[in-house]
Amino acid sequence: MTPSPPIAELSDRARDIFRRVVDGYLASGLPVGSKTLAQAGLNLSPASIRSVLAQLEDWGLLAAPHTSAGRMPTELGLRLFVDGMMQALEPSAEERATIEARAGLAGPVEEALAATTAALSGLSACAGLVMVPKHEQVLRSIGFVPLSHGQALAVLVSEDGAVENRVVDLPPGVGPAALVEAGNYMSATLSGLTLAAARARIERELAQGRADVDSAARALIERGIAVWSEDGERRPVLIVRGQARLLDDAATADLDRVRELLDDLDGKQEIAALLDSARAGDATRIFIGAENKLFALSGSSVIAKPFRGSDGRVVGVVGVIGPTRLNYARVVPMVDFTAATLARLMG
């Protein structure tokens, strides 16, 4: 295969035919043949069109499925198209109003994020994704309140006055005195630290034997560490909406690919890691197919954009996932607008 040239080095004829093939494929999901191109008004003979298609295929920009004489863009061809030829289509006034209305819903922020993500999913015909970190509290105090035999309520108070309650299973032999001792020790030791820093300090002090508590309180503290570690694994908040939109007519012809994609969406930690990689900078990131190993089998594309709070720090990432043949020109600006809307919400 001859190395593919940059888009600027393609002849006008090759560029025109390549663009028509990509546009036709993205619109229909079907390969585009030379007969279709000849009927589209190209002032070229079918033989000349076939010659250009063969050259584009030799460069790795197009491929010919075994069941069709037509051509479709490869992932390399889609990348070349997105980076060098795509003409963005700004969201309509109605689309912008829909996204802004969902983001402006009263109630908890996570509900507004979920509603906005659902709106983005519906408008883009993709699955919508948004990821935001949970607020990292700075601890003021920690206490334990007995609930019933074998359980207690861990009450965490942060410096901003927020309170979190978590049920903790009590180790054998832990009585009311141990609850008080463990709470006093942890409040004195951890006040002013974030949850992550607090967990690290407790683990270090217990390992070095510097925790001046009896065995029952120590057991309770260790149980609390397990609860907080589980909480840390649930960070950040990842919301996925609209998976069913991935099951369109074209997708049902390749159920194995769709099954792979839905399995990928169940791997929340892997999706979160992918979105986290889009946090750097302000640009919209577009991952096409095997460019990200997570979606190499399902042949999917992800468009993701970070959004910032009023202090300029990145507070989350919003995006969509869909087939590689999604309408990039329409969806990329839609993701950009949603990111700007969520920035105002989170500001």
Paired residues of 168 in beta bridges: 152
Q: What is the pLDDT of residues 226-244, one digit of tens each?
A: 665 555 444 567 788 887 7
pLDDT attached to residue 296: 66
* C-alpha to C-alpha distance for 25 and 325, rounded to whole angstroms: 7
Alpha helices in the chain (DSSP H): 12-28, 34-38, 46-58, 75-84, 93-103, 109-124, 176-190, 195-207, 215-233, 255-266, 268-276, 328-346
Instruction: List, in order, residues 6 or more apart from 111 with CB less than 8 Å away.
Output: 105
* C-alpha to C-alpha distance for 286 and 303, rounded to whole angstroms: 5
Which residue did the predictor score with more confidence, 336 or 269? Answer: 336
* C-alpha to C-alpha distance for 218 and 216, rounded to whole angstroms: 5
| Strand order across the 285-288 sheet | 237-241, 127-132, 314-323, 300-308, 285-288
Concatenate the DSSP letters of all residues of 127-174 into one string.
EEEEEEPPP-PBEEEEEEEEEETTEEEEEEEETTS-EEEEEEEPPTT-
Burial status of residue 144 (CB atoms within 10 A of its CB: 0-12, 13-18, 19 or more): buried
Which tokens go with 228? 């907080």
The backbone torsions φ and ψ at residue 2, rounded to the nearest 5 degrees and listed phi first, read -75, 135
Angle at 180 between CA 174 and CA 184, to 5 degrees: 130
Split at pLDDT 50, 70, 90, the class of 336 is: very high
pLDDT above 90 covers what percent of the chain? 31
Paired residues of 144 in beta bridges: 154
* C-alpha to C-alpha distance for 315 and 343, rounded to whole angstroms: 8
Split at pLDDT 50, 70, 90, the class of 197 is: confident
The backbone torsions φ and ψ at residue 254, rounded to the nearest 5 degrees and listed phi first, read -135, 70
Judged against a pLDDT cut of 60, whether residue 199 lies above it is answered with yes
Answer yes or no: are the C-beta atoms of 18 and 54 closer than 8 Å: no
Cis peptide bond upstream of 146, omega within 30:
no
pLDDT attached to residue 118: 94
Residue type, 26: L
Q: What is the pLDDT of residues 1-44, one digit of tens each?
A: 667 677 778 899 999 999 999 999 998 888 998 888 988 878 88
* C-alpha to C-alpha distance for 125 and 219, rounded to whole angstroms: 51
* C-alpha to C-alpha distance for 124 and 335, rounded to whole angstroms: 9
Instruction: List, in order, residues 6 or more apart from 177 with CB less than 8 Å away.
Output: 216
Split at pLDDT 50, 70, 90, the class of 289 is: confident
pLDDT attached to residue 253: 55
Split at pLDDT 50, 70, 90, the class of 211 is: low
pLDDT attached to residue 261: 67
Choose from 27-41, 109-123, 172-186 the range with maximum mean pLDDT.
109-123
Q: Is the pTM of this model over 0.85?
A: no
Which residue did the predictor score with more confidence, 218 or 316? Answer: 316
62-63 vs 151-158, strand pairing mode = unpaired
pLDDT attached to residue 220: 76
Which tokens go with 191? 């006040």
pLDDT attached to residue 35: 86
The backbone torsions φ and ψ at residue 229, rounded to the nearest 5 degrees and listed phi first, read -65, -40
Judged against a pLDDT cut of 90, whether residue 117 lies above it is answered with yes
Judged against a pLDDT cut of 80, whether residue 221 lies above it is answered with no
pLDDT attached to residue 46: 84
Q: What is the pLDDT of residues 118-145, one digit of tens each?
A: 999 999 989 999 988 665 667 888 888 8
Q: Range with the lowest mean pLDDT among 34-38, 47-51, 90-94, 246-250?
A: 246-250
Helices 255-266, 268-276: axis angle to 10 degrees equals: 80
pLDDT attached to residue 119: 95
